[in-house]
Amino acid sequence: MKRYSTALLALFACGSLHRLAVAAPPERLELGSNSSCPSAAEVIEELTPLLPHTRIQPSSSEETTPSSARASIDDEGELVHVRVAGQERAFRDPARSCRERARTAAVFIGLVLDPPILPEIERPAPAAPPPPERPEPKSSAPSTPLTLQLGPLLEAAPVSDAAQVPLAGGFGGRIAWGRELGLSAGAAFLLPTRLALPQADARLVWLPFDLALRVSHEIEAIALAAELGPDLSLLFVSGERVKNPRTSTRLELGVRGAVSLTWSMSTHLGAFITLFGVWRPKPYEFRVNPELESGTTPPLWVGASLGLSFRTR
């Protein structure tokens, strides 16, 4: 039986004795054991210092008196039963350490016959109840951000049939969904563009729409993004500086690619700049006069857009 069993026994016995009235230890104690492990002599040797005012003797002694307190120890193999003053405890000791058995039995008997008197502890005044805790908001998975970009744009056609480089300006809007990988869609309204052709002039108006796959990466307050996808434009063409001018409408299909940089000024507000290009593989061969071939729309446009960006988190 391990040595710390004595301390555990003391705590356990103290807890069970709080109902007993405080009384002086007996003058005599008769102690008997049915085994030599532990023997009565071994228990008396350990118990004598615990009950210095009690005369302890084996129960077989000739000096036994009817007024003496009695204690018995029964060895039942792995268990040791100790009985004294109506109290009983059983201790398990598979190792059969006789000295530890004697010490454990002595401590239990001493606590029963001479329990310690502890000073009464004044209970502290009840503390004020703590303020009610506010329930923490439930953490949820981060939502997918939605970004809206609005601003003016300007684009030019480096290759065309016109005498001067065609320019087109207007206002555009774009909405993007996703973090690192997402989708985006854009639309713009472009002011009329004039193509100065050798035989006649053409007045062009585009209303472009596009859908793109978007890849983005954020570095602190800076977000970089790249987009690529189809572009569909509604084109209105009318002739100028020619007799019998003609107006026609056409849908032009192309491919749009762009790179953009966004600087976040706050959680939801930022500023952006975008560089883009639109390639239309089949330019429109238009006629500003029924009998006069005038030219084709430019196949390539490059431009830039800047403005404000609004984002949900």
Please tell me which residue, 245 or 311, carries the higher pLDDT value: 311
Q: List C-alpha distances in Å: 212 to 137, 147, 177, 189, 300.
A: 36, 14, 11, 18, 18
pLDDT higher than threshold 60 for residue 190: yes
How far is it, in rounded angstroms, from Cα 304 to Cα 274?
A: 5
Residues 6+ apart with CB under 8 A from 72: 31, 32, 33, 34, 59, 81, 82, 83, 84
Question: CATH code for 146-311?
Answer: 2.40.160.20
Q: Where are the domains of the chain?
A: 5-11+18-113, 146-311
- Taking residues 293-311, what's their average pLDDT? 87
- Per-residue pLDDT of 257-299, as tens digits, reads 999 999 988 888 999 999 999 999 988 776 666 566 667 788 8
So what's the pLDDT on residue 11? 45
Task: Report the pLDDT value the prediction gives residue 38, as an integer from 0 to 100.
Answer: 83
What is the average pLDDT across 239-245?
Answer: 69
- Per-residue pLDDT band for 22 (boundaries 50, 70, 90) equals very low
What pTM was estimated for this model as a whole?
0.53
**pLDDT for position 141:** 56
pLDDT at 211 over 90: yes
* pLDDT at residue 106, as a whole number: 85
What number of other Cβ atoms are within 10 A of residue 239's Cβ?
Answer: 23
pLDDT value at residue 294:
67
- pLDDT for residue 250 is more than 90: no
For residue 18, give the nearest of 118, 99, 86, 91 by alpha carbon.
118
Range ranked top by mean pLDDT from 8-12, 133-137, 150-154? 150-154
pLDDT: which is higher, 247 or 23: 247
Residue 245: pLDDT over 50: yes
Please tell me the predicted confidence (pLDDT) of residue 18.
44
Model pLDDT, residue 14: 47
Higher pLDDT, 127 or 137: 127
Q: Which two tokens stand for residue 265?
A: 């000024």
On the question of pLDDT at 213 being above 90, the answer is yes
CATH fold label, 5-11+18-113: Rossmann fold (3.40.50)
Domains 5-11+18-113 and 146-311 share a fold: no
The 10 Å Cβ neighbour count of residue 167 is 14
pLDDT of 21: 43
Round the average pLDDT of the chain to a whole number and report it.
Answer: 80
| Type of residue at 234 | L
Over range 20-30, report the average pLDDT. 69
More confident residue, 244 or 47: 47
Q: What are the pLDDT digits (tens) for 33-78?
A: 888 888 888 888 888 888 888 888 888 655 556 667 888 888 888 8
Using a pLDDT cut of 70, give the percent of the chain over it: 81
pLDDT tens for 90-119 read 888 888 888 888 888 888 888 887 777 766
